[in-house]
Amino acid sequence: MSVIEDVIVNVGWGLYHNLIVAIASASAASQATAWSTQCFALPMAFCDMILPERSFRNLGAYLYFGIALGSCPLCFFSDIAERKSLFTSSLLVCFVTCLVAGFAHGTVMIEFCMFCLGSGLTANRIIMKVYLIEHLPFTKRGRYVAITDVCFGVTLLISALIASLMTPSVIHQRSFDMRIITWRLMFGLSGAVSIIIACTTALLRSSPRHLFFKRDYSEAVSTIKYIYSINNSKHSQTFDVRPLQLVNAISDYNLRFDPYATTFSEQLFDLTKRIFFSLLLTFRKKFAVNTILAILIRIAFPLESIHVGLWLVNVIHQNKSMECSITPLNLLYLEGATNENRCKISLSETIYFDFVGLIASTVVAYTIVFLLVDRLGRKPLLVVACLLCTGSALILLAKMVPYWLAILSSIAFMMGYSIALSVLDIITLESYPTAIRCTTMVETQMPSKMCASFCLIFLNANCRTTLTFTATSMLVATILSVFLQELKNQPMIE
């Protein structure tokens, strides 16, 4: 076992670790409220502001462009500067974006807010998980990263249920001069959650792994002793650890700043060079295979779980008709929002009920990851999840599928999809060193999210076409998953 893993184990488990897990879980909950708000509030905004339908279709593309590209600066800086401050900053980005969206009165502002929201939510998810896993002992890494996903799923279910109950009131009160419930209130409430969590991050200290990576040994040892004293209710000086014991415990891979760069242009060049070499490091011999596999597997998972739920609801209920088609609006919003159906409650309660049921299945999926990821391992769960998605998609491909079978298949697909996303995050976090952990997370998801962005601009496909592509890509992902690295009960790569 590595020296740094020994130190983290000897620090013990106690109040400070519980605090980190609680704040990380609350952060995941704030992400869930923002995702559900986006799905329910934007159709209402479309009704209220009479936006052009083409602009409304493009909002999803801006959201996924933010996920793919906008999150990069915060994640790159998290590897370069500090985890904790960027964790707080990502929450503030979500808060400001939701606040501005609540006061938006035009297409351009809404589009800008969607780009920033995608950036903030993704950066927050990545930095939060990186910060959390860098504090965890190797025996508890998997399940305590997964518990943040459980909180995400529970909050997504609750917020989706509340938003679906609010939607009829928002539409009904549209013509009122004084409105208590509006789509702007939905954005405001989701932003309020983010700012509250951002304030609680003041209780946290910097990541000790990242401090060792930056060669700030005295501060790193001070942080470790601080955590030890809180966890064990003992004086920090009783923990015997010295800076000299931990010299070069975490490699910096020569990703250092030039100490002689003084002017702004020199510092900017140095920063750009640092990012370039970080990206290059992920494709060196030691990491190249894992990086390529992670990128290819994630292409099979381009959409966020809530948008997969929307796609499946449309497949279930359109499959009854001969003309089953999927458009960007079907992937982004539950309530219809076309020019022919502007501001009308056109959906039956069955569709809302099915959607909430699919979201509830993600809670079960994340709970399975929490219970089994440290017992069975990462790869077995990922392979089973991909196979589950493949089988479910093939069942939905069959003609005249009974309603009950379509529901069960969709629930199985949703569970497999959620399990795979959660396990992929854990595998990626463990397989790369502190020097490039955030960079790799954002890099491996970028191609899949860019594919999703273009689909949300140009997609107009038959349901069977989307299901065929999904089943094929999931089968390929199953095969590729076998070759990923397994680090159950082993030290993280440093």
Q: pLDDT of 208-266, one tens digit each?
A: 888 888 888 888 888 888 888 888 877 767 777 766 666 777 777 777 665 556 677 77
Distance, in Å, from the CA atom of 56 to the CA atom of 42, rounded to the nearest integer, reads: 8
> Has residue 10 got a pLDDT over 50?
yes
CB 246 within 8 A of CB 124: no
Express as a percent the part of the chain with pLDDT over 90.
29
pLDDT at 20: 92
SS3 annotation, 362-398: HHHHHHHHHHHCCCCCHHHHHHHHHHHHHHHHHHHHC
pTM: 0.90
Number of H helices, E strands in the chain: 19, 2
pLDDT at 341: 47
> Has residue 328 got a pLDDT over 90?
no
Token duo for residue 68 = 């793919």
Burial of 260: CB neighbours in 10 Å, binned 0-12, 13-18, 19+: exposed
pLDDT at 129: 93
pLDDT at 260: 57
Q: How many angstroms separate the first and last alpha carbons of the chain?
A: 11
Mean pLDDT, rounded, for 270-281:
83
pLDDT in tens, 97-148: 988 888 877 778 888 888 999 999 999 999 999 999 988 888 888 899 999 9
C-alpha to C-alpha distances, 31 to 54, 306, 367, 430, 455, nearest whole angstrom: 27, 12, 18, 23, 23
Residues 6+ apart with CB under 8 A from 350: 317
What is the identity of the amino acid at 403?
A: Y
Distance, in Å, from the CA atom of 165 to the CA atom of 159, rounded to the nearest integer, reads: 10
Boundaries of every domain in the chain: 3-204+263-481
Nearest C-alpha neighbor of 390 from the set 471, 315, 297:
471
CB 120 within 8 A of CB 90: yes
Mean pLDDT, rounded, for 339-355:
61
pLDDT in tens, 360-399: 999 999 999 999 998 888 899 999 999 999 999 998 888 7
CATH architecture of structural domain 3-204+263-481: Up-down Bundle (1.20)
Token duo for residue 321 = 């008709």
Q: Which of 10-19, 314-323, 345-354 ranks highest by mean pLDDT?
A: 10-19
Mean pLDDT, rounded, for 411-431:
93
Q: Biggest alpha carbon distance in the chain?
A: 73
* Phi, psi (rounded to 5 degrees) for 304: -70, 155
- DSSP three-state, residue 462: strand
Which range is least confidently modeled, 10-19, 33-42, 214-223, 245-254? 245-254
Residues 6+ apart with CB under 8 A from 381: 368, 369, 372, 373, 419, 423
pLDDT at 82: 82
